[in-house]
Each structure stands twice: as C-alpha cells, then as structure tokens.
Chain A
Amino acid sequence: MNAMKQSLEKLRYLSLLIYYLFFLLSKGVAQEIIILPDTVRLDEVIVVGYATGSEATISGAIDKVKEEDMNRGLITTPFDALRGRVTGLYIPPANNGPAALEAVRIRGTTSLTGGNDPLVIIDGIFGDLSLLRAVYPADIESFTVLKDASETAQYGSRGASGVIEVTTKKGKAGLFNITYEGNFGISSVARHLRMLSGDEFRQVARERQIEILDQGYNTNFLEEITQTALLQTHHIAFGGGSEHSNYRASVGYVDQQGVIRNNSSRNYTAKLDITQRAFNNRLTLDIGMFGSLLDMHYLNDYQKTFYSAATFNPTFPNHKNPETGGWDMVTTASQITHPIAWMDVQDDEANALVNARMRVVVQLTDHWKLTGFGSYTYNSVENSHYKPTTVWGGGEAFRGLKKTQSLLGNLMIQYKKDWRGNHLDILALAEAQKTTLSGFHTTVTNFKTNQYGYHNLQAGAVRLWEGTASYFEDPRLVSFLGRVNYVHKGRYIATLNARADASSKIGINNKWGFFPSASLAWTMSEEAFMKPITWLNNLKLRIGYGLSGNQDAIQSYTSMQLLKPSGVVSAGGAPTVTMGLIRNANPDLRWEVKHTFNSGFDLGILENWLMLKMDYYISRTHDMLYLYDVSVPPFAYNKLLANLGSMENKGLEVALGITPWQTADTELQVNATFSRQKNKLLSLSGTYRGEKMSAPEQMPITNLDGAGFHGGYNYIVYQIVGEPVGVFYLPKCTGLEELPNGGYRYAIADLDGGGVNLEEGGDRYIAGQAMPKVLMGTNISFRHKRLDLSLQINGAFGHKIYNGTSLTYMNMNIFPDYNVMREAPRRHIYDQTVTDYWLERGDYINFDYLTIGWNVPLSGRLKPYIQSLRLSGSVNNLLTITGYSGFSPMINSYVVNNTLGTDDKRNYPVTRSYSIGLSIKF
C-alpha cells in the first residue's frame, strides 16, 4: 500500500514538473523566439466526400495531409508519402520488395472476410488500393482520410473500412510552370540470416560424424540470390491557365529493382486535367484522364525462395554442374530446391489502368448548384509465369488475363446559404455504378525445353482440364444520399448524412441498406467566455455516430444456387464435363453494418505552437460477413458466407504537433501520432433461416509450413471468440529437456491435465496477440535557411511474433539435408514441436528515413528561368530497434491472412536504400 502511494506521489511530481517545464518553455519561447505563423488556415477548402467545406464547417473526424506534410525522400508510391502520417492509418513498411502491393488498414480490422482495405477515391473516382498505384505521388495535392462513420457514411456500403480521398494537382490560373523531379538510389541488403557456412557445415558434420554431401564449396546462398538494386524515378509536369480555364499534364516513371535478383517493377504514369469555366463562371467543366502501366517481376513463392536460400547445402556451388549441364540438387531435401535455379522462375504481371472522367458544375443561382459526374475506368492485368523443368517436374507455364471495366455516374444538387451567422449546406445525390469483371487463364505442363518460357504455350504437351478457366461478373450498385451541414455563429456545427445503397450481390430480399450518421461539433474557442484565455487559440469538441456498410466480402452470385462445371468423368464411355453445385448458396445475404461512435477534440495553443488532436472511438460490426463453418450434413459444403457474429474495435488516437523553435531562418517541427487500438471478436453465432448457428469458438488462421510441418497441429495464430482477432494459442514450453543423445527438446507443460497430448490440439493457452496494441509515427523536421532535414520514426508495440524461422532452422534433426543456423549446433535442439518457446515480443522502433534537402540559391542568370531548385539526399530504413531475435520484426502483424504474426521462412531481406533527388521548378 505504502509502495503504491509512493509511486503515485512520484508520478504526480513528475507530471507537475513536466507541466511547469512545458509552461515555462511555451511562455518564454513564445515571447522571445517564436514568430507567430501568419494565418491559421481555418478557411482552407477541404473536400469531405461529396461535400466541400472548411475546417470551420466540419464536425466529423477527418485528417488531411497536404503536400508539405507528406513524407519525403525516396517515394515511389502514394503509400510511401502517407506512411506514419495519420493516426489510426496503418501502411505496412515497404520492405517486401518492389512488387508487393500493400494492404492498408484504417482503425484496424473490422471485418473477418474481406473489405478491410479502405475505399480509395481519386478526384471522385472510386477504386481500391491498386487505383492509387496508378497515380504518381508528386501529382497528389492532398490526402483526406475519413475514419469515423459520421463521415464515411457518405459512402454507405463501401465506407466501413474508412476512406482515403486523394485530390490531385490541377492547373492554376495565371501561372505557367514546369517542374521536374527525379531520384536516383541504390539499395542493398542490410542484414542476412546467419546460417552455417560451407566450412562450418563440414566441421559440424565431422565433429558429429555425420555423413554429408560435400561438393567442396563455400556458398552463401542468401547472398547469392541478392543484388545491389538500382532505382530511379522521373516526373515532369507542366500546367497553366487563365481566369477561365486551366490545365495540367504530367508523366512519371519509376524503375525499381529488388534486392533479390529476378524481382523488379516499372511504373509509367500519365495524367491530364483540364478545367474550363463559361457563362460568367456559372458553368464549370472539368475533364481529367490518368493512366498507368505497371510491369512487375514478382518473386514466385517467397517461402520457397528464402527457405531454399537459407537451408540449401552450402557446400554446393552457385553454378550448374559443368559435366551434366544441370543443377545438382539435394534430393533428400524435398521441400526446397537449388536457390539459384529457383531464380529462373518467371512470374510477371502487366497491369494497365486508364481512367477518364468528366464533371459538369452548373451554378444555377447563388445558392443552388447542380453537379453531374461520370467516370470510366479500364484495368487489365495480365499474369504470366513459367517454372522451368529444372525446379518443377515437367515445367509449367501459366497465362491469365483479368479485365475490369467500371462505369460510375452521379448527379448532385446542392444548396448553400449564409445568413446572420448561419451557414447551411444541403446536398442530395443519386449515384449508380456498374463494374464488369471478366478474364481467363490457362496452364500448360510437360515441357521438354525451357527456351520458350511462357511465350509459346504450344511448347508444353499437356493442358489439364482444371488448368483452364474463364469468368464473368458484373456487380452493380445504386445509391441515394442526402446531407445537411449547418453552422451557427461559427461555433455550433451539425452534420447529418443519410445514404441508401442497393447492391446486385446482396440477397433478393435485402438489396437495400440504409446508412445514416450524425455529428456535432462545438468550437469552444470562439465563445466569448473563452476569449480572455489568449494562449488558447483553438478548441473544438466533436462527437459523432454513424453506420457504414461492407459488401466487398460478397462475391457475385453467392446468393443464388448455381451450377458450374465440376469435373470430367467418363459418360457413355467418353470423357464428359458435368455440372455441379460448387458451394453453399445463401439467398439471405445482407449488408455487414458497422456502427461507430467517435468523440474528440482539436486543440491549438499559443497560435498553434502546440496542436493536439485526440479521438476516441468505439465501433461494432454487426451481421458480420464471414465464411462460417457449417455442419455437413445438412449442408453439402463446410463453409457458408453468412451474416452472423459481431466484432468490436475501440481505440484512442492522438496527434501532436509542436513547433518548439521558429525564427525567420530556422524552424523545428515535431509531429507525432499515436494510436492505441483494441479489437475483440464478440461472437460468431447467430440465426440463419430460423435456426441458431454457431461457428467453432477457435479457428486456426496460420500454421507453419515446410519439411515435417504438413498436417497435424502446427497452428500458430487463431481467432478465438472473446479475444482480439489473431491470438497465439500455443503449448507452453517450460524449458529444454535433455534427450538420451545429449541433445535437447522442448519440455511441454501439461496444461489440461491427464498428460501432454498435443496431437489432439489440447494443452494450449492464449499466449499473446498478433496485432500491435499501439502504433506510433513521429516526424521531426528541421529547417535552417536553405537547408532542411526530415526524420521519420515509426513504431509498433504490444504484439508478439512467432519465430517459426528459428524453430525450423534451430532443429538439428534437419541437418544435413537442410542447413541450420550458426547457433543451432551449440544449442543442440532436436525438436520442431510448435511451442511458445519461439514466441517473442514484436515491439520495434524503426527509423524509416532521413532526408536532407538544400534549396539551391539561384544566381542572376538562371533566376528568370528557374523558380526553384532543390537537391536532396535520403537514407531509407536507417535502423530498427527491437528485442525480437528473428530477422526483422516488420512482418505481417496487421492483415488477417495465413501469414499474420507468423515469421515462417518467408521474410524478404531488410534493405537499406540511399538516394539523391533533384527537383526543379521553371
């Protein structure tokens, strides 16, 4: 009791001390050093969904990232520009190689099945994350991130996972300019796993009198498959305009090699926007187009690549056997292949996207405005791969094409009026969207030569029935929206949204969904009684509640009982294709609905010397779409997509900005974001067609793979009702116990009593969660005269990682068929039973990048031509501080799939990049 009192006392002193320091600093510094920022930009236009407003008229929780707030340095995708900058927005570290498409989460995982990626809207065009890759980062003017339902409800059925709105740069009246921006960089592997070298491999075998295959070499295959990767980006934009019209055009190019050979991407982008005003600015026409061509060379099968490179016999050479002309394989190591032979696998993608859009705005009267918008998006993705006969029996070629065409149109009428301290903004909208998805693919095997790759499918002799397929889907959506935004005396703000959506994919009786929301805000600092508090320049309280939907998890036709080709049988003596049911249909499919409550405040002190924004939210997902386990019988298949169950997410988000030092020449700014998030899977049961149904309370999500890990109980991460999605459910290891041969194995606690019985899935406990509890992002930027410096630090805390890589590579049982870690002979473990022995804390702090820029002073002759010239240099992925013993803690700790929280021999090496950049504005 006493001890507690004492520590409480200490805590109080500490907080008082901090408070005083803070206060003194703010007062003193403010009076003497700080030159107050000229304007608080409350009136700046912010696009919130279909509406436009300003900071003064917004009552929901939104975050805006303007160009100057975006990340700097080596930016190859729009995600790079945004990472770590918005509270509650998680973008995974870009260390999975150049070709991986990120998964992005806003306020965590709210659905179990799909549709967890936010909706991306670029200048009014709806799309997914891949749409964002079609835009060059330098063409983006700002991001607006909508997090809580009081604003996402505007997007009804699609907004449940949050919305990232992108406004791209447009031409500006009266200015003609050309800009060039380019980067050149190199990256290399910062760290390798330390396996036995060829010599050590021989030595261990000699010491233990184990017969090995020794070809006499000393090959580090992990290094052999890597390279120093080059990277370059170029972007040219020009634009201009008059009072009545403006335009902007740009082209961009990103060429990025991976640090693993055979892994690269190239992205070509182009964009054009034209605006024309007419009839006294009563009519505005907006036309825009953008497109991209993304060429990717993927690494086929990360696990096979890195598992092979780590464990292939290091006494083997890095070249083919000159006598046989082929690769020497270790046939007893059946789960891996020669890592360099595997580099010949081709896995390519050509992704072409083009979008055209047009907006017509008619200002009918001073108050009434009519807007029509239409957009067309075409996307084709061609995948091709070839696995040579050296690594794949008979070789295998695959070609496939996926086409998506999307038409979107809406009509909106808006009424805006200001009178005697009142501001009213009403909006009504009708919208329709039609998407056509179609494609086909074919697989060919039995090649005798690898010369053709995938370029001539006739070189393969066999085309199996199941290797060829095609599909067609055309889901449609219809929506109506009404929105009222009212501001009284510039300090009481209310917003109401009501959206109705209908989707063709939803069951016939539940087509329409209704998603209302409301939010209130009170700008307290505008009240008369607050005016005397001079150091407080902004205080705004916000509260909101709303519903948003999710239907992404529903595939077309799931609500109907349909037949598909089910296989080939002998019918009447001839091979014949028959049709059959291929899944359980659910005619009662409904919308998944998320209810969110959000409250928060914005605070600005001493003319925004300190800005603080805090939000607390709680959301519940009801009618959760999930592929539930159902009983067979009466069902034919064991999964049914249905709306049962619920999930809860709550969290606290803090964004803090301080400008501790600001003079005419020098400025130091620190921006930090923290988000704490708690997820809980509330229930997986409900009523389906009048019968109570409940899915198993425990479902495995991830398991280990590789030699000796097929089947049985190798599960790592589970979803368990009552727990956060993704918890480790593992046997408890009490230490190492000695074996008769002097080696060790994992001693396992008998948790259930009655003896240890892991084979039956017993004797396990919940050992931690896979998703971080706290995320942090900090940016420190410093400017002195023409020099500027920016450092970004990201971190994640409170989660664990299962080090399956070490479990596998520390097991001396696999030696000498597979190589082991350098530590393994000393540790002497002969066991690969999955226990919590290899479960480790995943906390980390990562120094994402450091950029130094210099605005070159322009001398007399250049000055008329060049407006500005900037040189910069960056280092990406400087340093990671972590207690995790594995390769890197930056694995998938966020997306619910079969890799969640499980480090299993598939990690892309940690890379560090150095780059220099040039940007000129004429």
Chain B
Amino acid sequence: MKKELLYIGIGILFAGFSACGDFLEEKPRDQIHEEEAYQDATNLYLNTVATLYTHIGGDTYSQGLQGTYQGVYDLNTFTTDEAIIPTRGGDWFDGGLWQGLFLHKWGTKNDALLATWEYLYRVIVLSNRSLEVLEAHRSVLTEGEYNAYYAEVRAFRAMYYYYLFDLFGHVPLVLSSDTPMKEVLQSRRSDVFRFVVDELQEVLPFLSRQRSNRFGEYYGRVTRPVAWFLLAKLALNAEVYTHDNWTDGNRPEGSNIYFTIEGEQLNAWEATIAYCDSLERRHRLSETYEENFAIFNESSVENIFIIPMDKNLYRNQMQYLFRSRHYNHGKALGMVGENGSSATIEALQTFGYDSETVDPRFEMCYYAGVVRDLKGDAVPLDNGDILTYLPWEVKLDLSGTAAEKTAGARMKKYEIDPTSSKDGKLMDNDIVLFRFSDALLMKSEAKVRKGENGDAELNRVRARVGAASREATLENILAERQLELAWEGWRRQDLVRFGLFTRAYNSRPQLPGEENGYTTVFPIPENVLILNPNLSQNPGY
C-alpha cells in the first residue's frame, strides 16, 4: 500500500514537471521557425534568394549600396576630387567626419567605416546561410530552379565580396554561416579577388540572360549582364586587386594577369574587352543621357543594374538630392533640402564650367547659378533675394563666409519626381548602379592599356551628348569617366587605378607618407580588430 502511494506520488510529481516543461516552452506566433519558411518552392525562393535583395538599398546610415549616407557610396565619393561636403557654419561639421573623409584622415575608429564593413559582411553571412538552406531543401525544387537560385545567390555574394575587398583590401573569406570565430582568418586581397572571379565565371551559365533594370521577373536581380559588368570591372582593376603589398610600389602588369574565358587564356585587358563585348549583346547607349535617370527609367536600354525604387512599395531611399540642395531649393519643390554636397573645384575644371567649352553634361549633372523651381521661376531665399549657387566659392570650411550657404554646384542628375515623399527621399527613379556607357569607357581604357586605339568607344559616349571627339589617351579617359559618371560612385576606384588617389589637389594636401598608397585601401575598422584578434591591420594605419 505504501509503495503504491509512493509510485502514485512520483507519478504526480513527474506529470507536474512535464506539464511545467510544456508550460515553459516558447511558441512564437509573430515569428516563424525556419522549417516553416522553406516548405515549398515559392517560399524557399522568397526566403533565401529574394530576401537578400531587401539589403541592396536602404533608408538608414551605411545600409545599402547607394542612396543612404555614410556607406559604400560616400566612401567612394567624398574621399575624392569629385565631390565635397563643406562645413557650413553650424551645419555639416558632424564631428569632423566630412572633412576627415576629404582630407583622407578617416582614422581607424570611424563609425562609417565600421558600419559599412558590418553591412557588407551581414549580407555575405546571410547569403552563406541562404546557400546552406537551398542545399538542405534541394528536394522541393526542380534541378533547373535549384541551379538558377544557387547561382544567383553565389553571384550576389561575389558582388558583395567585390565591394568589400575593393574598400578594405585583405578581408576574411567566410563561406559558411556557422564558421567558428577562430576560423575567421584574413585572406589576401588577391585570393578574394580570384575567388570572386571564379565564382562569377562558374555561375554565369546558370544566370538568366534577362536585363535586370526592366520591370518583370528579373527586375533588380543579379542576371548575366550584371555578372559580365562585374567581371569587366574585376579585370580592369586586376592590377590593383592582385597587388597584395600595395605600398611597395611594384604593381603587377595587367598584361600578365590571366583570366580563362570560354577555354581561352586572356590577359586583364583582353578579358575586360571580352566582358564589355558580352554586354553589348544586351545593352546599348540610350538616345539621351537623361533618360537613364528619369522618374521611369526602367525602360532604359543602357542601365544594367539598379536599386528598384518605388515610394509606396519599397524602403529604399534616394537621399542624395535631398542632401545636396539648399533648404529653399527643397522648399520650392515642396520637399526639403540639407544644403550639403557640392562639386569640387577640380570637378568644375574638368567640366570646363564657366568656359566656352563647358561639357554638355554639366547642365545635366549640376545645379549652378540661379536656382529655378519646376515652373521655371527663380527660387527666393527667406530674405527675398534670389537663391544662386556659387560653384567656385566651394572650400573645405565655409563657416563665416558670405557664401557659407550657397557655395558649390549641387547634385542634379536624377529627374525631380514631383510626387516624391519623405522630404523627397522616396522617389520613383531607380538608382543606377551599373550602366553601359561605363562599359564602353572600360573597353576604351582596356584597349589603350593594351596598346590599341580606344577612340571609337570613347567618342560613342561623347557623341551621344553632343560633345566633340577626343583622342583616347589615358588622361582623357579618366576625365571622361568623371564627366560621364559624375555622382555615380566610381571616382575612388578610378583614381586608385590611375595611381592618382593620393595626389594633392585644391584644398587637399597630401598626407605625410601617403605617397606610398596606403590610403588607397581603408583600414580594417578598429572594432573589428578588437573583436577578432586573428585579423591584422592594413599597412600604414
């Protein structure tokens, strides 16, 4: 009898504890377990492949490849002779951030650098995870679907690695989402470069041939033309990317760096040309320069890769027009302005501003002189004077000067979307990341570097905007890249390739020791080094 009671007692206790266990189990309702997200082909695609594209643009600092502040774009633009955000009295000092970028004194503790590093790697780690999930759930997909999705994610990840090693040099190559900390080791820049090239080449056959900038199934996605464009960029900059000791002054020769394309061994310049030629199969120059930046630029035949924009559907913002225009300029458009970014003196000189030989694209890319609203009326300042941008007055610190608020030619480029919202940051113009005229200039440059004549490609680009022909010298090509690609985020890479990034120019002295080229690569952010002692700092920092 006593024994039975004991058993019953133990039984009750056991039941009590197991009920307890159930009571303490979390059953989320506003979030789902992974298994539930990958059950069928549609959800598997959405939550492994499509989900990655939510990261391509953004609305907060350092998130997205373009459109936001203090990210990839700003590091490639405000560190160069193309554009500047001058300090304007109480505005735009921002703890010395913009001056620091312009003077190449960005430091190793720079928040923008850290946030950009973390952004790029986050997308890479999430891509790794998507690949693992696709592998694990392969059975719900057809062979064709699996290959296409798997290839797309690999290409997407390769693109993020390209941005990463371009900015930070020797970065760890992490290919699995559960890599233990101790295995996160630095890879050489040239190895990451090779990895990216191999990845893109391997997945090319599985990528769609569709153009990515058009509405439709492949809108905004990594397709074959996007991969071609990336491969062309990789080949053209191969000298820089394979130069692992970039401060030693011995850059490898592009003619000695080889790529295997369709069984053929091609050197860097030949490879560039080959990939640019591939692009010509899908893209061409559009009739006008402006249509690539129009509100509805999805029909452009020239744009290759874009950040999809829709003020009602997507989070992606375009903050650069808002950042550049004067307060009253923004107000006159029914929007807002932050009165920041401007063209540098060097940019004005390259464009021939104020001269008889001004490039036709100056008008298309910049606001200068009297500012007009959409109806063509001059925009007044608060005191009734007419708002006039004074391009030549720009300098690093304008505080206290008469032109404090009005110095500098401002960003135009994109057509004003009068229905935009969020102060003008949510507009419908897709943000152009890659376009075909860049490919033509790359081809021209590769030809010249190879010792051939690149006039034809250069002058196709010039003729489209009605500019007179020029001889395709390296100097003219670099200038043309600035004229054609102003505000598009390429200047740092171009200057590095031409060996001119570290030179002194108007209001920017060369830093001591900079001539060895250490500033052509950003430092690994200090926080990253603290958290992962296996990594070491880039030279010079």
Instruction: Give the B-binding residues of A (Cβ under 8 A).
Output: 211, 213, 329-332, 334, 393-394, 432, 434, 445-446, 462, 464-466, 470-476, 478, 502-505, 511, 556-557, 559-564, 566-573, 575-576, 578-581, 629-638, 689, 691, 693-697, 707-714, 741, 757-762, 811, 813-814, 817-818, 830, 832, 834
Q: Is B31 an interface residue (CB 8 A)?
A: yes
Q: Is the CB of B31 within 8 A of A478?
A: no
Contacts of B26 in A (CB 8 A): 475, 504-505, 556-557, 559-560
Q: Is the CB of B93 within 8 A of A573?
A: no
Contacts of A710 in B (CB 8 A): 94-95, 97
Least CB distance, B272 to chain A, in whole angstroms: 30
Least CB distance, B27 to chain A, in whole angstroms: 8
Q: Which of B191-199, B215-223, B446-454 contacts A (4 or more CB under 8 A)?
A: B215-223
A629-B531, A696-B530 are contacts. A636–B111 as well, Cβ < 8 Å? no
Chain B residue at minimal CB-CB distance from A557: B28
Least CB distance, A717 to chain B, in whole angstroms: 15
Contacts of A832 in B (CB 8 A): 90, 93
Measured between alpha carbons, how far is A561 from B531 in the docked complex, in Å? 23
Q: Out of A445, A475, A569, A632, name the residue touching B54 (CB < 8 Å).
A: A569
Q: Is the CB of B177 within 8 A of A636?
A: yes
A564-B31, A579-B37, A759-B97 are contacts. A570–B308 as well, Cβ < 8 Å? yes
Contacts of B5 in A (CB 8 A): none
Measured between alpha carbons, how far is A631 from B405 in the docked complex, in Å? 41
Measured between alpha carbons, how far is A84 from B47 in the docked complex, in Å? 55
Rank and list the top 7 A-B pairs by shortest CB-CB distance, nearest first. Answer: A712-B95, A760-B107, A567-B54, A814-B90, A578-B51, A331-B327, A631-B531
Measured between alpha carbons, how far is A556 from B338 in the docked complex, in Å? 40
Contacts of A814 in B (CB 8 A): 89-90
Contacts of A579 in B (CB 8 A): 32, 37, 46-47, 51
Residues of B1-46 at the interface with A, using a CB-CB cut-off of 8 Å, are 20, 23-34, 37, 45-46
A446-B421, A562-B33 are contacts. A817–B90 as well, Cβ < 8 Å? yes
Q: Is the CB of A830 within 8 A of B400?
A: yes
A332-B327, A334-B338, A817-B90 are contacts. A432–B47 as well, Cβ < 8 Å? no
Chain A residue at minimal CB-CB distance from B87: A708
User: Given A758-B96, A759-B110, 5 more contacts at CB 8 Å?
Assistant: A213-B383, A334-B327, A474-B27, A571-B45, A697-B530
Measured between alpha carbons, how far is A714 from B95 in the docked complex, in Å? 6
Q: Is B109 an interface residue (CB 8 A)?
A: yes
Q: Is the CB of B421 within 8 A of A576?
A: no
* 12 A-B pairs in the complex with CB atoms less than 8 angstroms apart: A393-B335, A465-B314, A557-B31, A562-B31, A578-B50, A578-B51, A696-B530, A697-B530, A711-B95, A713-B109, A760-B108, A813-B399
Q: Out of A476, A560, A571, A689, name the residue touching B33 (CB < 8 Å).
A: A560
Residues of B139-186 at the interface with A, using a CB-CB cut-off of 8 Å, are 172, 174, 177-184
Chain A residue at minimal CB-CB distance from B114: A638
Contacts of A576 in B (CB 8 A): 46, 50
Measured between alpha carbons, how far is A213 from B179 in the docked complex, in Å? 61
Summed over the interface, the residue pairs from A and B with CB atoms below 8 Å come to a total of: 265
Q: Is B100 an interface residue (CB 8 A)?
A: yes
Measured between alpha carbons, how far is A693 from B531 in the docked complex, in Å? 7
Chain A residue at minimal CB-CB distance from B46: A578
Chain B residue at minimal CB-CB distance from A714: B95
Q: Is the CB of B399 within 8 A of A560?
A: no
A504-B25, A571-B45, A741-B400 are contacts. A634–B315 as well, Cβ < 8 Å? no
Measured between alpha carbons, how far is A758 from B96 in the docked complex, in Å? 8
Q: Is B203 an interface residue (CB 8 A)?
A: no
Q: Is B392 an interface residue (CB 8 A)?
A: no
Q: Is B331 an interface residue (CB 8 A)?
A: yes
Q: Is the CB of A445 within 8 A of B111?
A: no
Q: Is B351 an interface residue (CB 8 A)?
A: no
Measured between alpha carbons, how far is A578 from B49 in the docked complex, in Å? 9
A331-B327, A560-B33, A832-B93 are contacts. A634–B531 as well, Cβ < 8 Å? no
Q: Is B514 an interface residue (CB 8 A)?
A: no
Q: Which of B123-131, B246-254, B263-271, B278-286 contacts A (4 or more CB under 8 A)?
A: B123-131
Q: Out of B47, B105, B118, name the residue touching A757 (CB < 8 Å).
A: B105
Q: Is B206 an interface residue (CB 8 A)?
A: no
Contacts of B219 in A (CB 8 A): 570, 573
Q: Is the CB of B89 within 8 A of A817?
A: yes
Least CB distance, B80 to chain A, in whole angstroms: 18
Contacts of B61 in A (CB 8 A): 711
Instruction: Give the A-binding residues of B (Cβ under 8 A).
Output: 20, 23-34, 37, 45-47, 50-51, 53-54, 61, 69-70, 87, 89-97, 99-100, 105-112, 117-118, 121-122, 124-126, 129, 172, 174, 177-184, 215-217, 219-220, 308, 310-315, 327-328, 331, 335-339, 382-383, 399-400, 405, 421-423, 527-528, 530-532
Measured between alpha carbons, how far is A202 from B93 in the docked complex, in Å? 26
Q: Is the CB of B28 within 8 A of A562?
A: yes
A213-B382, A569-B220, A696-B530 are contacts. A711–B30 as well, Cβ < 8 Å? no
Least CB distance, A714 to chain B, in whole angstroms: 5
Q: Is the CB of B182 within 8 A of A503?
A: no
Chain A residue at minimal CB-CB distance from B308: A570
Least CB distance, B212 to chain A, in whole angstroms: 10
Contacts of A689 in B (CB 8 A): 180
Q: Is the CB of B339 within 8 A of A472?
A: no
Q: Is the CB of A636 within 8 A of B122?
A: yes
Measured between alpha carbons, how far is A790 from B321 in the docked complex, in Å? 62
Measured between alpha carbons, how far is A252 from B100 in the docked complex, in Å? 59
Q: Is the CB of B95 within 8 A of A693?
A: no
Q: Is the CB of B90 within 8 A of A818?
A: yes
Interface centre among A559, A563, A570, A711 (most CB of B within 10 A): A711
Contacts of B93 in A (CB 8 A): 708-709, 712, 832
Contacts of A629 in B (CB 8 A): 527, 531
A476-B23, A576-B46 are contacts. A834–B95 as well, Cβ < 8 Å? yes
Least CB distance, B391 to chain A, in whole angstroms: 19
Q: Out of B33, B51, B179, B220, name the residue touching A580 (CB < 8 Å).
A: B51
Chain A residue at minimal CB-CB distance from B96: A759
Q: Is the CB of B180 within 8 A of A478?
A: no
Measured between alpha carbons, how far is A694 from B335 in the docked complex, in Å? 46
Least CB distance, A483 to chain B, in whole angstroms: 21
Interface centre among B26, B37, B105, B184 (most CB of A within 10 A): B26
Q: Out of A445, A505, A632, A817, name the residue touching B118 (CB < 8 Å).
A: A632
Q: Is the CB of B96 within 8 A of A569?
A: no
Contacts of B421 in A (CB 8 A): 393-394, 445-446, 462
Contacts of B90 in A (CB 8 A): 707-708, 811, 813-814, 817-818, 832
Q: Is the CB of B125 within 8 A of A632?
A: yes
A569-B314, A711-B111 are contacts. A759–B399 as well, Cβ < 8 Å? no
Q: Is the CB of A568 within 8 A of B315?
A: yes
Q: Is the CB of A472 within 8 A of B29?
A: yes
Measured between alpha carbons, how far is A445 from B420 in the docked complex, in Å? 12
Q: Out of A568, A635, A696, A708, name the residue touching B94 (CB < 8 Å).
A: A708
Measured between alpha carbons, how far is A761 from B182 in the docked complex, in Å? 28
Least CB distance, B332 to chain A, in whole angstroms: 10
Q: Is the CB of A635 within 8 A of B97?
A: no
Least CB distance, B96 to chain A, in whole angstroms: 4
Q: Out of A696, A709, A711, name the residue touching B531 (CB < 8 Å).
A: A696
Q: Is the CB of B94 within 8 A of A563?
A: no
Measured between alpha carbons, how far is A472 from B315 in the docked complex, in Å? 24
A631-B184, A632-B118, A813-B400 are contacts. A393–B422 as well, Cβ < 8 Å? yes
Q: Out of A562, A564, A711, A834, name the residue touching B97 (CB < 8 Å).
A: A711
Contacts of A830 in B (CB 8 A): 399-400
Q: Is the CB of A632 within 8 A of B89?
A: no
Q: Is the CB of A632 within 8 A of B50?
A: no
Measured between alpha carbons, how far is A528 from B50 in the docked complex, in Å? 83
Least CB distance, A444 to chain B, in whole angstroms: 12
Contacts of A691 in B (CB 8 A): 180-182
Q: Is the CB of B28 within 8 A of A211?
A: no
Least CB distance, A570 to chain B, in whole angstroms: 5
A432-B23, A476-B23, A709-B95 are contacts. A578–B382 as well, Cβ < 8 Å? no
